[in-house]
Amino acid sequence: MGLSRKEQVFMALLGASGVAGLTALILLLVEAASVLLPANTKFGIVFDAGSSHTSLFLYQWPADKENGTGVVSQALACQVEGPGISSYASDPAQAGESLQGCLEEALVLIPEAQHRKTPTFLGATAGMRLLRQKNSSQAKDIFAAVSQVLGRSPVDFWGAELLTGQDEGAFGWITVNYGLGTLVKYSFTGEWIRPPEETLVGALDMGGASTQITFVPGGPISDKSTQADFRLYGSDYSVYTHSYLCFGRDQMLSRLLVGLVQSHPAALLRHPCYLSGYQTTLALAPLYESPCVDTTPPLGLPQNLTVEGTGNPGACVSAIQELFNFSACQGQEDCAFDGVYQPPVRGQFYPLSTANATVWEFCQRSWKLVEASYPGQDRWLRDYCASGLYILTLLRDGYGFSEETWPSIQFRKQAGGVDIGWTLGYMLNLTGMIPAEAPAQWRAESYSVWVATVVFLVLTLVAVLGAAAVQLFWVQD
């Protein structure tokens, strides 16, 4: 039996109401997606041209928050193939070409229409600082080569520059605290607030050629050359920061080896930091080419040196301590080493390396056992013992961490989803992206208003359709 005229009209109106409601629901979901995932996202690229390798970092942020409290996130971390750009002194053009692979990988993630609007920077650190000391002309040629490659790429290239050690440490401090949300955070009351100062963390950075320490001290900074000032989220910060050139991992290993050669000149060198059973042959001349080494090879030594590991952590620590000038701080208050001023360490610290709590035991293992346990890592394994003991010596004897302050150190590679390093702080600074105080609360408010409006329209439509149905029923009756 078929539906009556009234039932047909009623079902049609009911269907229309359902379609309207479903359409409104779809619109709500679409708008919610556009609120949570803005379509107009901006991007920025930073190359970290370190001493041992170069890395590219791609960052993104909602365009509408450029001058507000926008959240910058890391979209890509790409390690460039090959060594650091300072290694291309004899072939500067190759330094620029080496960047192409990672740049192309980043451009795939950026809408093509935004390529020309994507600010791109290259910051070089201690490796290039050493090369400039050694041969400023070669350093200039390398910067020209990378600038040429990036300048002709489909991005908004803002330049390549040599960062000072102070900038490297300070930008690293911004990155860590930005990532952890210790500079500003969104409260439950819907307001952006400044967390207590004691939640700020310090940053320890171990690179290939230099190492940095940055933190907010407990009192005034006596040596103003070690002070960096920022205004972030409407608040002022003064941090202590210092960079030690030639105290990075790679330069430390070279200086350590040279020191052993100088103190025990012989064709066979017994290295206490290499594991027992390890043996290799090294060219002697390259060890003395770094500006960090200010001595000449002992007379009578062959060009190639045979090095044999003894796996003696006690002797290794003694050799490492010779790299520091602790006596320069005698009689000086608030001094780290080499006569450098440093207030007492304060707060929680995020280093950028990894220290093994059982490094001493590791140093006493045989090379054969370790090599079998970590296949394919021979290139790095031989230096694990020296690196671990060096980091412990630097933190304890150099920077002054004690048994009481040691637990405040955390070894991490990321903070808040971004790689720990200077690149994010650098990008925020150069683009003027460091967020201000104004909150982005309008997003939640405008979204609530939009939802209320849609709901009101849907209810109105349903009411009209319902009234029309009732009216038809009355007319039919």
Q: Tens digit of pLDDT per residue, the chain (477 long)?
A: 455 554 454 454 445 444 444 444 433 333 333 334 355 788 999 999 999 999 999 999 876 654 454 568 899 999 999 999 999 999 999 999 999 999 999 999 999 999 999 999 999 999 999 999 999 999 999 999 999 999 999 999 999 999 999 999 999 999 999 888 888 777 777 777 788 888 999 999 999 999 999 999 999 999 999 999 988 777 889 999 999 999 999 999 999 999 999 999 988 999 999 999 999 999 999 999 999 998 998 888 888 999 999 999 999 999 999 999 999 998 888 999 999 999 999 989 987 754 545 789 999 999 999 999 988 888 889 999 999 999 999 999 999 998 788 788 888 888 888 898 999 988 887 776 655 433 333 333 433 444 444 444 445 544 544 554 444 444 444
How far, CA to CA in Å, does 289 sit from each of 220, 261, 317, 457?
Answer: 40, 15, 25, 77
Question: Hey, which bits of 296-428 come out as E strands?
Answer: 304-309, 348-351, 414-415, 418-419
Nearest to 129 by CA among 139, 142, 137, 143: 139
Q: Which fold has domain 41-245+414-431?
A: Nucleotidyltransferase; domain 5 (3.30.420)
Which tokens hold the place of 128?
A: 């290039």
| Torsion angle of the four alpha carbons 90, 294, 255, 134, in this order, in degrees rounded to the nearest 10 | -20
Q: Which residues contact 358 (CB under 8 A, 6 or more apart)?
A: none
Q: Which CATH superfamily groups domain 249-408?
A: Exopolyphosphatase. Domain 2 (3.30.420.150)
Q: Which residue has the tokens 């690229």?
A: 45
Among 302, 206, 316, 217, smallest CA distance to 260 is for 316
Distances (CA, A) of 69 to 74, 106, 247, 393: 16, 25, 37, 40
CA 19 to chain centre: 50
Taking the C-alpha atoms of residue 448 and residue 268, their distance in angstroms, rounded to an integer, is 76
Q: Which two tokens stand for residue 192?
A: 């952006």
Report how many helices (DSSP H) and strands (DSSP E) the chain contains, helices first: 14, 17
Checking 450-455 for CB contacts under 8 A at 24+ apart, the result is 450/31, 451/28, 451/31, 454/24, 454/27, 454/28, 455/24
Residue type, 447: Y
- Encode 167-177: b = buried (16+ Cβ within 10 Å), e = exposed: bbbbbbbbbbb
Please list the alpha-helical segments (H only) found in 264-376: 313-321, 359-363, 367-373
Cβ atoms of residues 297 and 288 within 8 Å: yes
Separation of alpha carbons 400 and 345, rounded Å: 7
User: What is the bridge-based pairing of β-strands 156-162 and 119-124?
Assistant: parallel
Spatial separation of the C-alpha atoms in residues 227 and 221, rounded to whole Å: 7
Q: Which residue intervals of 65-122 are DSSP H helices?
A: 92-97, 100-109
Distance CA 231, CA 238 (A): 9
pTM over cut 0.75? yes
Length of the chain in terms of residues written: 477
304: which strand partners? 283
Just list the catalytic residues.
168
